Structure 1
């Protein structure tokens, strides 16, 4: 009955009569062939409609050497997933501090685990504050068995992901909803040099805490805050650049003021300049 190989007898509905297999098959195939023909007609129409745009797109790609604007989280993640799935040697990432959501944590694990299983090396830069972020520490722990290295540094600028020295991704908006996919060899090489510059100055995550008090009674993070204060940055900007909340930043500023004996914000800037701690940091 499913294949229409039987049909009710018109003279006696209680009986079923056989239908030749060729007839039943033709009855089943005819609507399918009609649908296939219609789909083919639509596909030809679509190809014809897109032909001028395909030509234009090819010229644009050749002219820009593949600089692609990715809009929306879904499209950005799809491009990242494709790039990492094709990666064979190394992934470099810069990840400024933020609060990891469970969803983003799972997405990162799903993307990084296959890389590690293929033997791809991963090097990631965080800010020092990541050492006190339970979500990031849990993430690192789950990937610790592979060829993965994590380092922290006091200040990072923006996110960066580079795959196999061929493609790089950078955000263009603070809400992370627009990104650039870069495949220009010169741009990618430049971004790799930026990464390596910071990597050489970063501290392995397994090393001692970078906030330990130096001989002058001022911690490394307070040296970084002092530098930004002298440059004229407000508390909110300093906190954002160092990956901490404003309250924590102000607590460090208060400790810095106490260590230098400052009674006001204006005096603090003067004492920082007079103390020579910024020159010590450079050495």
Structure 2
């Protein structure tokens, strides 16, 4: 880089002394060879005067003499040295500032990303899998998971099977929460039979988004809707909150080995009562299907059967009949429209951001 230029020359010749334009190079080279050039030769290249590569001949102001190449080089190197020194000072100031900020967070803030980062974004399946494998390797006591959605597909169960088997081999206990509808998947039943006493599973009408919690130390939750990003959480307050959420859902859940309770009205299934409660809240079919882990088509089939059983000829009439017979309260607990703090004292299991899956099992 060269020195700053101003005025007319800066507009027409935006360069420094370390790299002349073609016209400037010709005039300066001629001046060095001949010792001087007429002032008129520098008219088309005023940058030579602005950069002090040419200066007036004190003996004849109509002529210009060149600054020696050695002096130009000395000036150029001095300018570059100043720029490098300034850059080093800025870099030192930035490092000092960030070291000070890091100190505000205590000893944990200086730990490596894999050990002490409170929140880490994992972008891409390979990074997610690597982080889960690392957490699996470090786990010594328990793993808590929430697995939303419907019937578990074989490939989803097999994706995390190697981790589950590794954990079982070390005596780690696992507890899994699923939607009720997952009970109908043979793949899940086979998985639980393979894992034996190492895994205990329970189900609910609705669960929160996917959660995997290792040793109440590190948790993984979805970070976007297409299952390509996850959050790795290590902040103690977040971990304590998610642990509380899990434990309170676990107490409400029904063991997979136990049958679902009978509904209060003959001819209406447990799932239909859950759908009725969500219909009473005004949810659309797609939302109900997603929350219960079933397809929209299956959801609509249940709604049609529910309407037939209750003798409702329209959605409006169905809503009235649901309220009349008391189906606006799901089997698993209090009405879903009741705020969670009224139902679960203390920290409440609100909706965890994201709709994806850090892993499948």
Fold shared, TM-score > 0.5 on shorter chain: yes
Tell me: CA distance 1:71–1:99, structure 2 relative to 1, closer, same or farther (3 Å).
Answer: farther
Aligned to 1:206: 257
Distance (Å, rounded) in 2 between the aligned partners of 1:164 and 1:98? 27
Distance (Å, rounded) in 2 between the aligned partners of 1:134 and 1:66? 38
Deviation at residue 95 of structure 1 after TM alignment: 0.4
Aligned to 1:28: none
Work out whether 1:253 is the aligned partner of 2:253.
Answer: no
SS of 1:124's equivalent? strand
Matches within 5 A, 1:42-191: 59=102, 62=109, 66-98=118-150, 100=152, 102-144=154-196, 146-191=197-242
Aligned residues: 230
Q: Which moved more, 1:87-96 or 1:171-180?
A: 171-180
CA contact (8 A) 1:153 1:203 kept: yes
Aligned to 1:27: none
Superposition CA RMSD, Å: 2.7
2:276 to 203, 207, 226: 226
CA contact (8 A) 1:171 1:180 kept: yes
CA contact (8 A) 1:218 1:256 kept: yes
SS of 1:208's equivalent? coil
Question: Could you list the runs of 5+ residues in structure 2 that have no partner in the other structure?
Answer: 1-93, 111-115, 335-361
Q: Which has the higher helix share?
A: 1
Tell me: CA distance 1:260–1:103, structure 2 relative to 1, closer, same or farther (3 Å).
Answer: closer
Distance (Å, rounded) in 2 between the aligned partners of 1:237 and 1:280? 16
SS of 2:267's equivalent? coil
Deviation at residue 155 of structure 1 after TM alignment: 0.9
Tell me: CA distance 1:99–1:152, structure 2 relative to 1, closer, same or farther (3 Å).
Answer: closer
Q: 1:40-96 deviations in whole A, cap 9, x for unaligned?
A: xxxxxxxxxxxx89x969939729961001111111111111111111111000001
CA contact (8 A) 2:146 2:211 kept: yes
SS of 1:196's equivalent? helix
TM norm structure 1: 0.73
CA contact (8 A) 1:214 1:220 kept: no
